[in-house]
């Protein structure tokens, strides 16, 4: 795709997304009414296809939108339209700044750092809910990698609470760190399950900073 055509497609989708949000009475925090599910599914599919072609499957934008598309709580819930819209806008901003490129051989720490940068970009643009989901996924992946690094065997689909428990039990970090991880996991769960009144933008900002420090300590 030529850059002009990509820009045209981004602009068209963003314009459509804005129109859907206006009709739903969205003012930055909540809807007056949920967008039609048909609009949600169509918009999300088009956004996912565009982001896959432009950003690549390794990008944070694609991974987060794919997670929403496949999640039990999010796949058919148009409440998450604004999250999809925020991810599309973040991808568009990065594309305009020539920031996007697909890299197939990054080391784990670099991949995680890129995801955190995308979470920061979402937060900067006011989309703290998808930012919370994304940084929570980064934290879970970090715990999994720390288990691998320390030869702690855990089932492939082990959740964050169990990973946290195993690492603390092995003495990789202390009880205080374990409690912090539990608190960060709660923020992510609230974001994923629509409990948006249980955390704030400042909570997510602090979460991103904490996870970055945690990675430096254990994966840096």
Give the model's pLDDT for residue 112.
52
* R_g of the chain computed on alpha carbons: 18
pTM above 0.75, yes or no: no
Q: What is the pLDDT of residues 49-59, one digit of tens each?
A: 999 888 878 77
Lowest mean pLDDT among 8-12, 113-117, 173-177: 113-117
SS (H, E, C) the chain: CCHHHHHHHHHHHHHHHHHHHHHCCCCCCCCCCCCCHHHHHHHHHHHHHHHHHHHCCCCHHHHHHHHHHHCCCCCCCHHHHHHHHHHHHHHHHHHHCCCCCCCCCCCHHHHHHHHHHHHHHHHHCCCHHHHHHHHHHHHHHHHHHHHHHCCCCCCCCCCHHHHHHHHHHCCCCCHHHHHHHHHHHHHHHHHHCCCHHHCCHHHHHHHHHHHHHHHHHHCC
Question: Is the pLDDT score of 106 beyond 70?
Answer: no
Provide the 10 A C-beta neighbour count for residue 158.
17
Instruction: Provide CATH 1.20.120 ranges for the chain.
Output: 108-218
CATH number for the domain whose boundaries are 108-218: 1.20.120
Q: Which pLDDT band, with edges at 50, 70 and 90, does 101 fall under?
A: very low
Lowest mean pLDDT among 9-13, 15-19, 44-48, 127-131: 127-131
């Amino acid at each position: 795709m030529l850059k002009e055509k990509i820009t045209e497609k981004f602009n068209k989708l963003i314009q459509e997304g804005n129109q859907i949000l206006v009709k739903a009475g969205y003012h930055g925090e909540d809807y007056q009414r949920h967008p039609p599910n048909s609009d949600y599914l169509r918009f999300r599919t088009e956004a996912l296809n565009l982001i896959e072609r432009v950003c690549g499957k390794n990008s944070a934008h694609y991974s987060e939108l794919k997670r929403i598309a496949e999640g039990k709580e999010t796949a058919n819930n148009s409440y998450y339209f604004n999250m999809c819209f925020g991810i599309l806008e973040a991808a568009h901003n990065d594309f305009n700044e020539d920031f996007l490129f697909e890299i197939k051989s990054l080391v784990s720490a670099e991949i995680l750092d890129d995801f955190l940068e995308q979470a920061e970009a979402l937060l900067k643009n006011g989309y703290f809910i998808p930012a919370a989901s994304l940084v929570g996924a980064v934290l879970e992946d970090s715990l999994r990698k720390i288990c691998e690094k320390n030869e702690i065997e855990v089932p492939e689909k082990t959740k964050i609470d169990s990973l946290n428990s195993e690492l603390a039990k092995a003495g990789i970090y202390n009880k205080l760190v374990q409690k912090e991880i539990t608190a960060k996991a709660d923020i992510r769960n609230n974001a994923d399950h629509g409990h948006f009144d249980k955390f704030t933008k400042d909570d997510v900002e602090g979460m991103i900073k904490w996870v970055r420090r945690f990675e430096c300590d254990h994966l840096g």
